[in-house]
Structure 1
Amino acid sequence: MTNPQTKYDSPWKEILQLYFQDFMLFFFPQFHAQIDWSKEPVFLDKELQQVIRDAELGKRLVDKLVKIYLLDGTESWILIHIEVQGQEEDEFSRRMYVYNYRIFDCYNRSVVSIAILGDANSDWRPHQFGYNLFGCRLDFQFPIVKLIDYRQRFEELEASSNPFATLVMAHLIGLETGDNRTQRKQRKIALIRGLYEKGFEREKVVNLFRLIDWMLTLPLELEREFWREYREYEESKDMRYVTSVERIGIEQGIEQGIKQGTKQGLIKGIALGLQLKFGDSGTNLLPEIEEIGDVDVLSAVLDAIAFVETIEQLRQVYQSNA
């Protein structure tokens, strides 16, 4: 079964690694200017997990350890530890310090720890850990970015071609529409349209779509409406990214169904997959699929949606397993 924490992390991990230079330029332009980008950054995910495997983990979205090179040559390379924190945590500053010194102890290299804070409390801004006792003083400070600070800069975000401007907009929309999913659907489709209007190439549209879709989840009926509107928009632009993006949606339905592991969860995932793959004609299968009581057969149907080409082929899957 898919690890929920892994799936929660993966879109952030993917987008940060794909567009790390854009990440530094958007959030930390002063640091970006000091990095030698002619040398490829090296991501040390496995090494980071080994360093912190016995540390208490907070409610974070993702952390990354990156090896980069400096332009001025003062050090051949340094490490940047990036923490993306989703919620308030009392011990966050202490944990940042613990990770920092453990990484330093492991590599004997300068370590820059930075934090992206995604919570909704404007007053929570941890940036320092330390103490002063008997003449022994520790003062560990680290730079932070508070995503809700961008609320007053939305027009600037809309005008930016940096992928992390899109990420911040999706995050803010998610916070603002938690109690209004209809508005979330409307703003989600507007955000997707913005990807096309900015002239992004196909790969970037699909990558950013994955993140937006993950951040701005919708109830099933609104999800169907969103996909109908999306297909209409894409057809009007004569852009055929839809096959790749529909596959993402189908995979999302499969993941949701597997994660829940119940008949109801599997049926919900199948319903979403049928709508995305075959449209309204696909949902005509639901009454007979709902009669299936074996969750293993339902799982087989859910898995098959992404690969079959016709409704009849899908029907054969559950008839042969009956």
Structure 2
Amino acid sequence: MAHSPAPSHAPDQLDSAWKCALDQLIGECILTCFPALAAVLDLSRPFTILDSELHQPSDGTIPTSNACHADRVYQCFTRDGHAVCLHVEVQCQHDEHFAQRMFIYHSLLYARHKIPVISLAILGDGSATWRPCDFEYGFGGCELTLSFATVKLLDLKPALPALLQSGNGFALFAAAHLEIMQTKGEPFERLAAKCRLTRILCDFRWPETRLAKMLELLDRIMPLQPKLDAKYREHIRNMKGTHMLTLIQRLHHDHVRRILERTTAYSFRTGREEGREEGRAEGRVEAQRLMLIDLAQKRFGMLPAGAAARLHSARPEELQRWLERFWQANSIDELLD
């Protein structure tokens, strides 16, 4: 993936956001952007992520190393049960070699998997005219052409209101991508856009687990400066609606994660100073224990003596298990059960 729709994004940050979005929303992506393909593929069957690292001989004609990485590669199935390899590439800026790269990826994937390869390109740049869709060459009576399906995110703009109203998760992510292009260099406008999209997301009435994953995608694709991020989270706390508990829980989770990272880092420093590996491990366990006790008291109120005793004497694996399911529990007894 080549990109830079906004300078606030490090290359790997945008790349990671899109890969996570494709993994979570690949079915909606195909339905939204490639409806003809949706009529051919069996979207009810899971998509298996395949290794996207490919190897090729380097001849110096294009800027690439022997190992190249496609954005996402999946194995999926047609409606009549045939396995196919699906390659999705996201391109966020003009690249004169893009079509050639698509051809190289296509060839290497076919050589590896020996099944039909479907190549798709998602163009997330700001140019209305740059639309690569094929690569061809010929010499000595031999000709070869690769045509691949493309979607320009700019083209989705008119349809986004209706798509968002229908609860389309990929449309929300595409809208976020377009917003980071439109709010380039305008941090307050980006904050406002992120708040709008969060409100739309809450109106989707999704299950809490899916909602939380989509919120994480929004954070990945629309990072904010620390002070504005604090305003965003304050905005969430002030929102009213069915899913606000999930949002607030997520804010607590973020806070807990930051506390744990700081406490763990401190325990590592302390252990290193003492020269004892066991000191570092004990520090991490105690950080988890204190954090869990604090969270439990805030959520469930004063803890019964038995529950408090269990928390104080819990083994490391118990603490980890309770932390992982903390937000799913409705009472302290259910948590410790």
Q: TM-score, normalising length from structure 1?
A: 0.70
Candidates 55, 62, 83, aligned match of 1:77: 83
Deviates more, 1:168-177 or 1:205-214: 205-214
The match for 1:127 is: 133
The partner residue of 2:100 within 91, 94, 100 is: 94
Is 1:68 equivalent to 2:51 in the alignment? no
- Secondary structure (helix, strand or coil) at the match of 1:66 reads strand
Superposition deviation, residue 25 in structure 1: 1.2
Alpha-carbon distance, 1:177 to partner: 0.8
For residue 123 of structure 1, what is the amino acid of its counterpart?
Answer: T
Tell me the equivalent position of 2:121: 115
- Pairing 1:200–2:206 present: yes
SS of the aligned residue for 1:68 comes to strand
Distance of 1:145 and 1:208 partners within structure 2: 22
* Contact 1:127 1:142 (C-alpha < 8 Å) held by counterparts: yes
Offset at 1:132? 3.0
Q: Which whole-Å CA distance do the structure 1 matches of 2:246 and 2:77 have between them?
A: 39
How far apart in 1 are the matches of 2:250 and 2:118?
A: 37
Question: Deviations 1:32-76 (Å, cap 9, x if unpaired)?
Answer: 1211345432211x2x3144697827xx99711111121245xx2
Q: Partners in 2 of 1:61 and 1:214 — Cα distance?
A: 21
Match of residue 169, structure 1, among 172, 175, 178: 175
Q: Contact conserved, 1:61 with 1:85, CA < 8 A, in 2?
A: no
- Tell me how far apart the structure 1 counterparts of residues 255 and 13 of structure 2 sit (CA, whole Å): 14
Is 1:56 matched up with 2:64? Answer: yes
CA contact (8 A) 2:54 2:69 kept: no
- 1:242-292 deviation line (CA, Å, top 9, x unaligned): 2224534776x79xxx9xxxxxxxxxxx8xxxxxxxxxxxxxxxxxxxxxx
Residue aligning to 1:215: 221
Q: For each residue in 1:81-115, what CA deviation from the matched residue of structure 2 results, as whole angstroms up to 9, or x when unmatched?
A: 11111222111100000010111112222111111
Q: Do the aligned residues in 2 keep the contact of 1:42 with 1:68 (CA within 8 Å)? A: yes
Query: Is the contact made by 1:11 and 1:210 (CA closer than 8 Å) also made in structure 2?
Result: no
Verify the 8 A CA contact 1:177 1:183 in the aligned structure 2. Answer: yes
| Cα 1:188–1:249 shift into 2, 3 Å | farther
More relative contact order in 1 or in 2 (CA 8 Å, sep 6+)?
A: 2
The corresponding residue for 2:232 is 226
* Residue aligned with 1:224, SS: helix
1:221 counterpart letter in structure 2: K
8 Å Cα contact 2:41-2:78 kept in structure 1: yes
Q: Secondary structure at the match of 1:126?
A: coil
Task: Tell me what 1:241 maps to.
Answer: 247
- Whole-Å Cα distance in 1 between the matches of residues 70 and 190 of structure 2? 24
Contact 1:234/1:242 (<8 A) preserved = no
Distance 1:214 1:249, change over 3 A: farther
**Mapped partners of 1:141, 1:182: distance in 2:** 41
| 218 and 41 in structure 1: CA distance in 2 versus 1, 3 angstrom threshold | closer
Could you tell me which of 138, 144, 152 is aligned with 2:150?
144
Identity %: 25
Between the two proteins, the alignment pairs up a number of residues equal to 260
- Label 1:30 to 1:132 Cα distance change in 2 as closer, same or farther (>3 A): same
Does structure 2 conserve the Cα–Cα contact (< 8 Å) formed by 1:62 and 1:84?
Answer: no
For the aligned residues, what is the CA RMSD?
3.5
Q: Unaligned stretches of 5+ in structure 1?
A: 259-269, 271-295, 311-322
Q: Map Cα deviations across residues 120-166 of structure 1 (whole Å, 9 max, x no partner).
A: 11111111111233322122111101111222333223313121010
Change (3 A) 1:80 1:247: same
Does the 8 A contact of 1:40 with 1:68 survive in 2?
Answer: yes
Report the Cα offset of residue 199 of structure 1. Answer: 0.8
Q: Which runs of 5+ in 2 are unaligned?
A: 1-9, 263-268, 271-279, 295-337
Which secondary structure state, in structure 2, belongs to the residue aligned with residue 131 of structure 1? Answer: strand
Q: Give the Cα–Cα distance (whole angstroms) in 2 for the partners of residues 52 and 5 of structure 1.
A: 23
Residue pair 2:88, 2:121 contacting (<8 A) in 1 also: yes
